[in-house]
Amino acid sequence: MRTPRAAYPVTWRVMDMLERLAAAVWPSSFQRGLPYLMLLPAIVLVGLLVLGLVQIGDTSLRVLDTSTFLMSEDYTLANYQRVLTENFFATVAGRSLMGSLIVTAITLLFAFPYAYLMVRTPSSALRKFLLVALFLPFFIGQVVRAYGWLIILGNQGMVNEALGLVGVPPMRLLYNYPAVLFGLVQYMLPFAVLMLAPALTAIPNELEAAAASLGAGWVRTFRYVVLPLSRPGLVGAGLVVVTLSLTDFAIPAILGGGTQDFIANAIYDQFFRTSDQGLGATLSLMLVAVGSILVGVVFMLFGAGTLAMGETRK
């Protein structure tokens, strides 16, 4: 006697079929390879980046022949020699590095109380306001934000107009190094807060309460409880801010008035203004190297912070 169809629905049959198909394509003996298969897209992506770096490395070893505007066939270290010996590149590299460190320090200083208040406030309305204020800039591109500062800080901008009301003559607030750093801090603040917030959330309220119950004031609690426990967040946020600042292009270009180039601006000039792809590639590689060394030093000194994910944190 045949089994009635209703006893084994069609959907089950389909599922059986799919299971058999999956078993044929990916036998159970392959199960241990599943995590690696899931890693494949990331490996392909990183592989493409590495291929790109290899290509850039190759280009960096060739010089531009300005009689044909083709790269040389022979390999040479001439571009590296130029980058290491010409004052201009040293100035730009120093400005970028120093700028990224200053921006990181100031950003963390501002981001910490913001993130702390956002995480700890009992007021849901205040938390929402802080979140909205944090995310709003993400909807506005970096370039638009920089142009916004041109309107606010320009000679005829809101700030100078306000100063004019109290008799202060217009002053140049833009197109200098502090203006670039200011723009970068404003741009980086949301990144830092977003990196710090999870680390601060992970600090139990009870620990602060316990410290207070043992007689510690707010400052001591902050110094000996909150700050050490938030170090992973500070390190993670610091790494993100320092690398993004170091490689930034738009803010130095717009708020620097053409006189405050960072390394990315110099790279753009070589690739697109003078068509010297070899020198541009060399600068790119050196930027990658400086950024990697900087991150490596931070890893060695402070660990990877929140970027270490599940790994035991120092």
Partner 1 sequence: MSHDKLSSMQIRRRTLLASMAAAGASAGLSTLGVSRAFAQEPEKPAEIIVRAWGGSWVDALKAGVSDSFTKATGIAVRHDLTEDNEIQPKVWAAVAQKRVPPIHVNWDTTTNATKSALRGVTEDLSDLPNLKDTTELAKPVGLDGYPIVNTYGYVYVLAYRPSAFPNGAPKSWKDLLDPKLKGRIALYNDGIGFHFPAQVAGGGKLEDIPGNMQPAWDFISKIKEQQPLLGEDPDFTTWFQKGEIDAACTISTNAREAKKNGIELAWVVPEEGAKFDTDGLWIPKGLPENELYWAKQYINHALTREAQQVWLDGLGLPGVVPGLTPPADLVDDPSYPVTEEAFEHLIRISSKVQVENESQWFAKFKEIMQG
- If the CB atoms of residues 121 and 155 are measured against partner 1, the closer one turns out to be 155
CB–CB of 251/180 below 8 Å? yes
Would you state the structure tokens that stand for residue 60, as one six-digit string?
């960096």
Q: Which of 260, 282, 284, 306 binds partner 1 (CB under 8 A)?
A: 260
CB–CB of 144/219 below 8 Å? no
Q: Does 86 bind partner 1 (CB under 8 A)?
A: yes
- If the CB atoms of residues 117 and 269 are measured against partner 1, the closer one turns out to be 269
- If the CB atoms of residues 159 and 216 are measured against partner 1, the closer one turns out to be 159
Q: Give the β-pairing of 64-65 and 70-71.
A: antiparallel
Taking the C-alpha atoms of residue 43 and residue 35, their distance in angstroms, rounded to an integer, is 12
Q: Does 13 bind partner 1 (CB under 8 A)?
A: no
Taking the C-alpha atoms of residue 190 and residue 216, their distance in angstroms, rounded to an integer, is 31
- If the CB atoms of residues 123 and 274 are measured against partner 1, the closer one turns out to be 274
CA distance readout (Å), 228 to 118, 232, 266, 278: 19, 9, 39, 46
Site residues for partner 1, 275-304, by CB under 8 A, read: 275-277
Rounded to a whole number of angstroms, the distance between the first and last alpha carbons of the chain is 69
Site residues for partner 1, 34-73, by CB under 8 A, read: 64, 66-70
- If the CB atoms of residues 221 and 265 are measured against partner 1, the closer one turns out to be 265
**From 43-51, 101-109, 223-231, 253-261, span contacting partner 1 (CB under 8 A):** 253-261
Other CB atoms closer than 10 Å to residue 236's CB: what's the count?
A: 24
**From 121-129, 149-157, 286-294, 303-311, span contacting partner 1 (CB under 8 A):** 149-157
Q: Which of 28, 31, 85, 87 binds partner 1 (CB under 8 A)?
A: 87
CB–CB of 64/78 below 8 Å? no
Q: Does 88 bind partner 1 (CB under 8 A)?
A: yes
- If the CB atoms of residues 130 and 250 are measured against partner 1, the closer one turns out to be 250
Site residues for partner 1, 192-251, by CB under 8 A, read: none
Other CB atoms closer than 10 Å to residue 191's CB: what's the count?
A: 18
Q: Which of 57, 137, 148, 154 binds partner 1 (CB under 8 A)?
A: 154
Tell me, residue by residue from 89 to 108, as one string, x for binding to partner 1 by CB under 8 A and - for no binding. --xx--x-------------
Q: Does 259 bind partner 1 (CB under 8 A)?
A: yes
Could you please report the per-residue DSSP string of 164-203? Answer: HHTTPPP---SSSHHHHHHHHHHHHHHHHHHHHHHHHHTS
Residues 6+ apart with CB under 8 A from 19: none
Q: Which of 216, 245, 230, 241 is nearest to 115 (CA)?
A: 230
Considering CB under 8 A, how many residues would be counted as binding partner 1? Answer: 35
Q: Does 12 bind partner 1 (CB under 8 A)?
A: no
CB–CB of 265/249 below 8 Å? yes
- If the CB atoms of residues 63 and 188 are measured against partner 1, the closer one turns out to be 63
**From 85-93, 118-126, 193-201, 206-214, span contacting partner 1 (CB under 8 A):** 85-93
Q: Does 85 bind partner 1 (CB under 8 A)?
A: no
Smallest distance from partner 1 to CB 56, Å: 14
CB–CB of 242/191 below 8 Å? no
Would you state the structure tokens that stand for residue 21, as one six-digit string?
């198909």
Which positions lie near partner 1, rule CB under 8 A? 64, 66-70, 86-88, 91-92, 95, 150, 154-157, 170, 172, 174-175, 257-261, 266, 269, 271-277
